[in-house]
Amino acid sequence: MQIIRWLDDHQPGWVECSFRDLHGVEHRFREKAPVVSGSALDAGSAYPQPGLLGCVVLERTPGDDGRTVVSVDTERPWGIESVEGRTRFEVAPEDLVEVARSTG
Protein backbone atom coordinates (compact mmCIF):
# COMPACT_ATOMS: atom_id res chain seq x y z
CA MET A 1 0.00 0.00 0.00
CA GLN A 2 1.21 3.49 -0.80
CA ILE A 3 0.45 6.69 1.06
CA ILE A 4 0.03 9.01 -1.89
CA ARG A 5 -0.71 12.43 -0.40
CA TRP A 6 -1.43 14.51 2.67
CA LEU A 7 -5.09 15.50 2.98
CA ASP A 8 -5.68 17.47 6.16
CA ASP A 9 -3.82 18.84 9.20
CA HIS A 10 -6.76 18.11 11.53
CA GLN A 11 -5.26 16.07 14.37
CA PRO A 12 -3.72 13.59 14.02
CA GLY A 13 -3.41 14.32 10.28
CA TRP A 14 -5.14 12.58 7.38
CA VAL A 15 -3.63 10.97 4.29
CA GLU A 16 -4.85 9.33 1.11
CA CYS A 17 -3.62 5.80 0.43
CA SER A 18 -4.06 3.31 -2.38
CA PHE A 19 -3.33 -0.25 -3.38
CA ARG A 20 -4.10 -2.54 -6.31
CA ASP A 21 -5.91 -5.77 -5.59
CA LEU A 22 -5.18 -9.15 -7.18
CA HIS A 23 -7.30 -8.17 -10.19
CA GLY A 24 -5.42 -4.90 -10.81
CA VAL A 25 -8.20 -2.66 -9.47
CA GLU A 26 -6.98 0.39 -7.53
CA HIS A 27 -8.63 1.06 -4.17
CA ARG A 28 -8.25 4.38 -2.33
CA PHE A 29 -8.56 5.10 1.38
CA ARG A 30 -8.61 8.26 3.47
CA GLU A 31 -7.24 7.50 6.89
CA LYS A 32 -5.47 8.96 9.91
CA ALA A 33 -1.73 9.07 9.24
CA PRO A 34 -0.71 7.18 12.43
CA VAL A 35 -3.09 4.33 11.53
CA VAL A 36 -1.26 3.59 8.25
CA SER A 37 2.33 4.66 9.06
CA GLY A 38 4.81 4.64 11.91
CA SER A 39 6.53 7.70 10.43
CA ALA A 40 5.83 11.27 11.55
CA LEU A 41 4.09 12.37 8.34
CA ASP A 42 2.88 15.88 7.58
CA ALA A 43 2.13 18.12 4.61
CA GLY A 44 5.86 18.62 3.99
CA SER A 45 6.69 14.90 3.82
CA ALA A 46 7.71 13.38 0.49
CA TYR A 47 5.00 11.26 -1.15
CA PRO A 48 4.38 8.50 -2.06
CA GLN A 49 5.47 6.64 1.07
CA PRO A 50 5.01 2.98 1.97
CA GLY A 51 2.25 2.25 4.44
CA LEU A 52 0.31 -0.57 6.06
CA LEU A 53 -3.43 -1.12 6.17
CA GLY A 54 -4.80 -3.24 9.01
CA CYS A 55 -6.90 -6.22 7.96
CA VAL A 56 -7.78 -9.79 8.84
CA VAL A 57 -7.41 -12.76 6.52
CA LEU A 58 -10.76 -14.39 5.82
CA GLU A 59 -9.53 -17.25 3.65
CA ARG A 60 -6.84 -18.48 1.29
CA THR A 61 -7.99 -20.30 -1.84
CA PRO A 62 -6.37 -21.48 -5.06
CA GLY A 63 -7.14 -19.24 -8.01
CA ASP A 64 -7.99 -20.47 -11.51
CA ASP A 65 -4.39 -19.77 -12.57
CA GLY A 66 -2.91 -21.72 -9.63
CA ARG A 67 -1.97 -18.61 -7.64
CA THR A 68 -3.20 -18.30 -4.08
CA VAL A 69 -6.02 -15.80 -3.60
CA VAL A 70 -6.18 -14.24 -0.14
CA SER A 71 -9.51 -12.68 0.88
CA VAL A 72 -9.07 -9.94 3.49
CA ASP A 73 -11.37 -7.65 5.45
CA THR A 74 -10.27 -4.15 6.52
CA GLU A 75 -13.32 -3.69 8.77
CA ARG A 76 -11.31 -5.46 11.45
CA PRO A 77 -9.30 -4.51 13.39
CA TRP A 78 -9.82 -0.72 12.96
CA GLY A 79 -12.96 -0.19 10.88
CA ILE A 80 -11.16 0.94 7.71
CA GLU A 81 -13.09 1.16 4.44
CA SER A 82 -12.25 2.40 0.95
CA VAL A 83 -13.65 5.67 -0.37
CA GLU A 84 -16.23 3.47 -2.16
CA GLY A 85 -17.25 1.91 1.18
CA ARG A 86 -15.62 -1.48 0.53
CA THR A 87 -13.91 -3.52 3.23
CA ARG A 88 -13.33 -6.88 1.50
CA PHE A 89 -10.63 -7.43 -1.09
CA GLU A 90 -8.75 -10.22 -2.84
CA VAL A 91 -4.97 -9.82 -2.70
CA ALA A 92 -1.84 -11.85 -3.42
CA PRO A 93 -0.04 -13.45 -0.46
CA GLU A 94 3.08 -11.39 -1.18
CA ASP A 95 1.08 -8.18 -0.65
CA LEU A 96 0.51 -9.04 3.02
CA VAL A 97 2.74 -8.23 5.99
CA GLU A 98 2.05 -10.30 9.07
CA VAL A 99 2.19 -8.33 12.29
CA ALA A 100 2.45 -10.15 15.61
CA ARG A 101 -0.44 -9.63 17.98
CA SER A 102 0.34 -8.20 21.37
CA THR A 103 -0.79 -10.24 24.34
CA GLY A 104 -1.59 -8.16 27.29
Residue 45 in any domain: the answer is: yes
Q: Which of 7, 56, 55, 2 is nearest to 32 (CA)?
A: 7
pLDDT tens for 2-21 read 999 999 999 999 999 999 99
Number of domains in the chain: 1
Left if phi > 0, otherwise alpha if psi is -120 to 50, otherwise beta: which for 41? beta
Q: Which domain holds residue 88?
A: 2-95
pLDDT tens for 22-64 read 999 999 999 999 999 999 999 999 999 999 999 999 999 998 8
Residue 44 in any domain: the answer is: yes
Residue 11 in any domain: the answer is: yes
DSSP per-residue string spanning 62-93 = E-TTS-EEEEEESSTTT----TTS--EEEE-G
Residue 85 in any domain: the answer is: yes
